[in-house]
Structures are given as C-alpha cells and as structure tokens.
Structure 1
Amino acid sequence: MAGADVLPVTVDEVPAITRIVRQADIDEITEALGIPVERALYEAVQGSLNARKIVVNGEVVAVFGDAVYSLLGSVGVPWLISTIHVEKHAKAFLKVCKPEVQGMLTRHQNLLNYVDVRNTAAIRWLKWLGFSFGPAAPYGARRFLFHPFTMNREN
C-alpha cells in the first residue's frame, strides 16, 4: 500500500483539481452553498493558513486547509474537498487525517464548520475524526440543511 504525501497546494492547481472533485462535494458546494466549485476551491486555498493536498501514487485524493473564522475566539474553519480518487486510496487518506486535524488545533483553540446532511460519507468521516455535531439547520445561500460540527483544543 502506498502512503499519502501531504503537500502544499497553490491556486494554480485549482482548475485541474476542480475537474476531479467528488460528486457529493460538488452537490454540497454548488447546490447548497450556491457557488461554483472552482470559486469555492480557489477562495478556500487562498484564504487558508495551511492549504494542503493529499497525494497518493501521483493522484490528488483531497485538498484541505484551515481558515481563520475569528481571531478573538481563536476559531478556525477546517475544510476538505475530496476527489474521485479518495475511495480508492481510503486507507492512506485516513492515516494522515487525524494528525492534520491535531495540527489545526495548534493554530486554533476551536474548530467550526458545517456539513450538508446529505453528505453521509463526510459525516461518518468527521465523527471518526472526533468532531461533535449540532442539530441540522438551514445554512448557506440556498438554506439547505447542514449540521454544524466542532472540535475544541484540550487545555
């Protein structure tokens, strides 16, 4: 089994990555948030403290990062957009996820974001990572149901 490399990602790579984004992620971004995937990915990479890509055997499996939501409360926004290659390389992908979330918690006291209730694979993964969930509520431009998910740094 090949291991995953976690490498920096740049906005120049966004068009190529956009072409291989997983359908559930496309649905969450375009239908629920009401913006094109390419714009969402461009803004996420540009607005993150630590934008990275997970690569296995030369294939980009996911792109992720953490943005600052609030300096005052030390709140970060973790995000991840997966590609069509994520299931094929699931073990290698999962192996790098928990350490990366721990890295985010060194930069932020609290992590907060929202996940589309229809994105069941993402919800399962977030629970596995240890995030806590709030009740689903309308969110984003189209007011689809999303769960808030959070994690706090242990003091």
Structure 2
Amino acid sequence: MSPLAAEIAIIKARASHIRQIAGRMRQADRDEVFAASGRSPLSGLSFSYRHSSLAWTALFDGRPEVMWGVGDINILTGIGAPWLLGTDAVEKNFRSFLKISRNWPAQLLSRYGLLRNFVDARNAISLRWLEWLGFQLFEPVEINGHSFRLFEMQTAPKSGETNV
C-alpha cells in the first residue's frame, strides 16, 4: 500500500469505464473471466455491465479501478448474481477497499433475498474477501474444465418464516 491511501469515490458505473478497467485488469480477474466464459477482459466486463440491474465504479484518485454490480438470476424469487472485476489498485489499497466494500452485501440484500455466483477457486484474494464479507463458500465444482466455488449469502428469515 502506498504511504498515502488513494481517495476512493463510488459512482454509478458507465460504459466509458469498461475499457479503462479492462485494459489494466488484475491477472486473477483476467484468468477467471477467461476460465468462466472464454472472454477477454473487455468482453467479460462489457457483458457483466450490460447484464446488470445495478452497477457501480470505484474511482481511486479519480481513475476507474473497480467495477461491480449484480445481475438478476430470478427476479420473481429475488436471486441476484453479484460480480466484481478490477485492477491491481484494489490490492495496493486493500485497507481502503475493505472499508468501502464492507456494506455492499447488506445494500444488495435490501433488494435481493439471495446473492449467488461462482468464483475461480484459484483466486485466493477474492475467496478471502468473500469470506470476510460473510459469504458462504461451497466445495469446488468444475465449470468449463476449471475449478470454481459457489458463494452465496441470503437475508435472514423474517419472524415466523423458514428458509428452504
């Protein structure tokens, strides 16, 4: 981490951020996008952005470094697929990133009852971050010949309800 932490601002994601982030995407995210879909960083980030109901960009010192969002898996049952792709700035400013990301799941769970997606089993930093956020991680499964782990989080049942 640099001596002075980056100033981070969260804004609504824009298509103009995609090329800037994709061109500098961290290697673990590049590998995950390719393993999951066979897509390039640009194509993968564009696809995720276009298929999201909500998406944001984190600007580090005014520069787009991270984009994340959530796509609808099933709007009737309230299931969303959260995703995040970024540059090495996330790791260089990890303390600041942890602070700004701490409440993201709660914000998404105000709209979705269940958040669910897969993460590349090789992506150790993302796995630790997801656990830190409170996601449950499941045993690896094979997708396109690569090992991925399902992660999910759900809202607590309301009084008198049970989760199935």
TM (norm. structure 2) is 0.87
Partner of 2:147: 145
* Shift, 1:118, TM fit: 0.4
Partner of 1:106: 110
Partner of 2:139, secondary structure, is coil
Q: CA RMSD in A?
A: 1.4
* Shift, 1:2, TM fit: 4.4
Gaps (5+ residues) in structure 2?
A: 159-164
> Which segments of structure 1 move beyond 4 Å, counting only runs of 4 or more?
none
Q: Using the alignment, how far apart are the partners of 1:102 and 1:3 within structure 2? A: 23
Per-residue CA deviations over 1:61-108 (Å, capped at 9, x if unaligned) read: 311001100113210000000212111211111111121221110110
Q: Using the alignment, how far apart are the partners of 1:64 and 1:98 within structure 2? A: 14
Q: Using the alignment, how far apart are the partners of 2:146 and 2:82 within structure 1? A: 20
Question: Which amino acid in 2 is paired with 1:149?
Answer: F
Given that residues 23 and 41 in structure 2 are in contact (C-alpha distance below 8 angstroms), is that contact kept between their aligned partners in structure 1?
no
Question: Which amino acid in 1 is paired with 2:154?
Answer: N
The alpha-carbon distance between structure 1 residues 21 and 75, as it changes in their structure 2 partners (threshold 3 A), is same
* 1:55 pairs with one of 56, 59, 65: 59
Give the % identical residues.
Answer: 29
Determine whether 1:80 maps to 2:84: yes
- Rg larger for: 2
Partner of 2:20, secondary structure, is helix
Q: In the TM superposition, what are the counterparts of 1:1-155 in structure 2 within 5 Å?
A: 1-139=5-143, 142-154=144-156, 155=158
